[in-house]
Amino acid sequence: MAVTRKRLVLVGNGMAGVWAVEHLLKLAPDSYDITIFGAEPHPNYNRIMLSSVLAGGVDMDEIVINSLEWYKSNHITLYTGHTVTAIDSVNRTVFSDKGVEARYDELILATGSNPFMLPLPGADKEGVIAFRDIKDCQIMQKTAKTYKKALVIGGGLLGLEAARGLLHLGMDVSVVHIQEYIMERQLDEPASIMLRKELENQGMKFLLKKQSEAILGKKRVKGLLFADGSFAEADLIVMAVGIKPNIELARNSGMEVNRGIVVNDYMETSIPGISAVGECAEHRGIAYGLVAPLYEQGAVLAKRLAGLETEGYAGSVTSTKLKVSGVDVFSAGQFMEPEGTRAMRYQDEVDGVYKKLVIQDDKLIGAVLFGDISDGAMLFSLIKKSENIKGKEKEMLLGFSPEAGSSSQGSRLEGMADDEIICGCNGVSKGAIAEAIQSGGCTSVGQIKACTKASASCGGCKPLVEGLLHLYAGEAAVTVKEGICGCTPLGRDEIVAEIKRMELKTVKEVMNVLEWVNEEGCAKCRPSLNYYLGMLWPEEYIDEKESRFTNERYHANIQKDGTYSVVPRIYGGVTSPADLKKIAEVAEKFDVPLVKFTGGQRLDLLGVKKEDLPKMWEELDMPSGHAYGKTLRTVKTCVGSTFCRFGTQDALAMGIRLEKEFERLNAPAKVKLAVSGCPRNCSEATIKDFGVVAIDGGWELHIGGNGGVHVRATDLLCVVKTDDEVVEWASAFLQYYRENAGWNERTAAWVERVGVESVKQALENREERLALQARIQTTLSRTTDPWKEIVNEPELRKNFEPISQSGTI
Ligand X SMILES: NC(=O)c1ccc[n+]([C@@H]2O[C@H](COP(=O)([O-])OP(=O)(O)OC[C@H]3O[C@@H](n4cnc5c(N)ncnc54)[C@H](O)[C@@H]3O)[C@@H](O)[C@H]2O)c1
The annotated binding site for [4Fe-4S] cluster is made up of 638, 644, 678, 682
- Decide: is 695 part of the binding site for ligand SF4 (CB under 6 A): no
- Decide: is 676 part of the binding site for ligand SF4 (CB under 6 A): yes
Site for ligand FAD in 313-332 (CB under 6 A): 323
If 0-12 CB within 10 Å is exposed, 13-18 middle and 19+ buried, where does residue 808 land? exposed
Q: How far apart are CA 104 and CA 726, in angstroms?
A: 85
Give the strand pairing for 76-80 and 421-423: unpaired
255: Cα within 13 Å, side-chain hemisphere: 35
Q: How far apart are CA 388 and CA 386, in angstroms?
A: 7
The interface partner of residue 178, options being ligand SF4, ligand FES, ligand X, none and the CB cut-off 5 to 8 Å by kind, is ligand X
Q: How far apart are CA 283 and CA 767, in angstroms?
A: 73
Any bridge partners for residue 257, and if so which?
Answer: 261
Helices 402-415 & 376-385 angle (0-180, nearest 10): 40
- Decide: is 691 part of the binding site for ligand SF4 (CB under 6 A): no
Evaluate whether 490 touches 499 at the Cβ level (below 8 Å): no
- Decide: is 682 part of the binding site for ligand SF4 (CB under 6 A): yes
Distance of closest approach, residue 37 Cβ to ligand X, in angstroms: 23
Q: How far apart are CA 323 and CA 702, in angstroms?
A: 43
The interface partner of residue 573, options being ligand FAD, ligand FES, ligand SF4, none and the CB cut-off 5 to 8 Å by kind, is none
The interface partner of residue 156, options being ligand SF4, ligand X, ligand FES, none and the CB cut-off 5 to 8 Å by kind, is ligand X
Q: Which residues bind ligand X (CB under 6 A)?
A: 118, 153-159, 161, 176-179, 184-185, 212, 240-243, 289-290, 320-323, 458
Which CB, 158 or 301, lies closer to ligand X?
158
Q: How far apart are CA 7 and CA 93, in angstroms?
A: 11
SS3 76: strand
Q: Which helix (H) or strand (E) holds 728?
A: helix 723-740
DSSP string, 434-452: HHHHHTT---SHHHHHHHH
With CB under 6 A as the contact rule, the residue among 84, 277, 638, 658 that binds ligand SF4 is 638
- Decide: is 290 part of the binding site for ligand FAD (CB under 6 A): yes
- Decide: is 318 part of the binding site for ligand FES (CB under 6 A): no
- Give the residue ranges of DSSP H helices in 169-254: 189-201, 248-252
Backbone angles phi, psi at 762, to 5 degrees: -65, -25
- Decide: is 639 part of the binding site for ligand SF4 (CB under 6 A): yes
Give the strand pairing for 671-676 and 690-695: parallel
Task: Measure Cα distances from 382 to 357, 364, 396 in Å.
Answer: 11, 7, 10
Strand locations in 625-689 (E): 632-637, 671-676
Distance of closest approach, residue 498 Cβ to ligand FES, in angstroms: 30
Strand locations in 430-585 (E): 557-558, 564-566
Task: Kindly indicate which of the ranges 34-42, 254-262, 565-573, 754-762 contains the residues binding ligand FAD, using the contact rule CB under 6 A.
Answer: 34-42
Distance of closest approach, residue 571 Cβ to ligand SF4, in angstroms: 17
Site for ligand SF4 in 644-673 (CB under 6 A): 644, 646-647, 651
Distance of closest approach, residue 12 Cβ to ligand X, in angstroms: 16
The interface partner of residue 647, options being ligand FAD, ligand SF4, ligand X, none and the CB cut-off 5 to 8 Å by kind, is ligand SF4
Contacts of 62 (CB under 8 A, 6+ apart): 49
Residue 590's nearest CA partner among 557, 612, 617, 565 is 612
Site for ligand FES in 395-424 (CB under 6 A): 423-424
- Decide: is 677 part of the binding site for ligand SF4 (CB under 6 A): yes
Contacts of 514 (CB under 8 A, 6+ apart): 488, 490, 495, 498, 504
Distance of closest approach, residue 425 Cβ to ligand FES, in angstroms: 3
Which CB, 46 or 676, lies closer to ligand SF4?
676
- Decide: is 678 part of the binding site for ligand SF4 (CB under 6 A): yes
Any bridge partners for residue 488, and if so which?
Answer: 485
Annotated binding-site residues for siroheme read 682
The interface partner of residue 158, options being ligand FAD, ligand FES, ligand SF4, none and the CB cut-off 5 to 8 Å by kind, is ligand FAD
- Decide: is 486 part of the binding site for ligand FES (CB under 6 A): no
The interface partner of residue 17, options being ligand FAD, ligand X, ligand SF4, none and the CB cut-off 5 to 8 Å by kind, is ligand FAD
Which CB, 188 or 661, lies closer to ligand X?
188
- Decide: is 729 part of the binding site for ligand FAD (CB under 6 A): no
The interface partner of residue 240, options being ligand FAD, ligand X, ligand SF4, none and the CB cut-off 5 to 8 Å by kind, is ligand X
* Chain positions contacting ligand FES, by CB under 6 A: 423-426, 454-461
* Chain positions contacting ligand FAD, by CB under 6 A: 11-17, 37-40, 47-48, 50-51, 83-84, 110-113, 131-132, 158, 246, 249, 278-279, 289-292, 294, 323, 425, 458
